[in-house]
Amino acid sequence: MTENVARRGFLVGGAVLLAAGCTSNEPAAAPASAAAPAPAASGNDQPGTKVVIGFSAPAADHGWIAAIAKNAEATAKQYADVEFKPVEPTNDINQQISAVESLIAAKVAALVILPNDGQQLNQVALQATAAGIPVINLDRIFPDKLAYRTWIGGDNYGMGVAAGHYIGAKLKEKGVSNPVIVEIQGIATLPLTQDRSKGFADALKTYGFSVTAKQDAKFTVETGNQVAAGLLQAHKKIDALWNHDDDQGVGVLAAIKEANRSEFVMVGGAGSLNAMKEIQSGGSVLEATVTYSPTMASSAIKLARLIAQGKGMSDLVENQVPQSITLASETITKENVEKYLPLGFES
């Protein structure tokens, strides 16, 4: 579950590649003396050199993580030139290190790693790179840029911004002043959670609003239920609630229904299928969710294949895959939910 929506986006296999530059939709006129750019590469999905892609991720004890593994495997199977070599998923740091070391020893062509902890797996990622194996760092980032060839992940700050703008606009539309805004985080000590909270606070500030109360719920259904029940009891009237994670949101929604509360607008986080169906129903406090899509694992496999085969992205002028790709956080509402349903994951 891990940073800044920016300027201009290129859609690449479900990912938005952020690039600095002009924001006009019209290309700038080239000087008369400038050489015409080479035609874009094409046919990247055509079979190429056979490559073995190693894959390591935490245990699937959370709907989002389970979807990460499923998406990676499903995408690898789409290519006749890819052999997918996953190792046993684990939440034990030492076991994940050993598993990655086994992939290094197997001399895979590329490694896709979602580390349990980027700091603690940094050294083994450096080992892979030193062995000539490009590492595609998925989501939780390694602190040393020498440890990975390309990072791809979600925009945690952007999630908060998207949630804050949705809630801020809704409250302004209703003419609410001094609103009671509640925030239910994942794990408060994680940098990704802190980024989400900062984005939320920054966006709310543009409307003159701030968070009234926040508490973390550990990314679990049970804790989500307990925390929501406590906040509902402490605040007899709430105007808006942002829950960072749709998996823990199952417990949050259960507490809301148990308390028979419906006076506020709720926004979720990540884009689970459960949340989308709740939004689609139109009869829930949950009106929107902001994405942090596990489809990033599919894109990571595509990137690993391109890098291992010495290819670049066909929609870009550059010859090589970029070093960093940040997915945009999109807002799913009743108006656009049908478009996102196929991307949802089961909580």
Q: Assess contact for 74 and 107: CB atoms under 8 A.
A: no
Please state the pTM of the whole predicted model.
Answer: 0.83
Tokens of 146: 């020498």
List Cβ neighbours of 238 (8 Å cut-off, separation of 6 or more): 180, 181, 182, 231, 232, 261, 263, 264
The kind and range of the H/E element at 175 are none
DSSP letter for 69, please. Answer: H
Give the pLDDT of residue 62: 84
**What phi and psi, each to the nearest 5 degrees, are found at residue 236?**
-70, -20
Q: The tokens 């046919």 sit on which residue?
A: 43
Give the mean pLDDT per block of 10 residues along the chain (347 residues).
32 35 33 36 82 97 92 97 98 98 98 96 98 97 97 98 98 97 95 95 98 97 98 98 97 98 98 97 96 96 98 93 97 98 92
Give the pLDDT of residue 190: 86
Strands 150-153 and 181-185: unpaired
Burial (0-12, 13-18, 19+ Cβ within 10 Å), 71: buried
Identity of the amino acid at 8: R
Give the pLDDT of residue 42: 52
Q: What angle do CA 263, 267, 270 make, to 5 degrees?
A: 155
Strands 286-291 and 331-333: antiparallel
The kind and range of the H/E element at 98 are helix 93-105
Identity of the amino acid at 41: A
Helix (H, G, I), strand (E, B) or coil at 33: coil
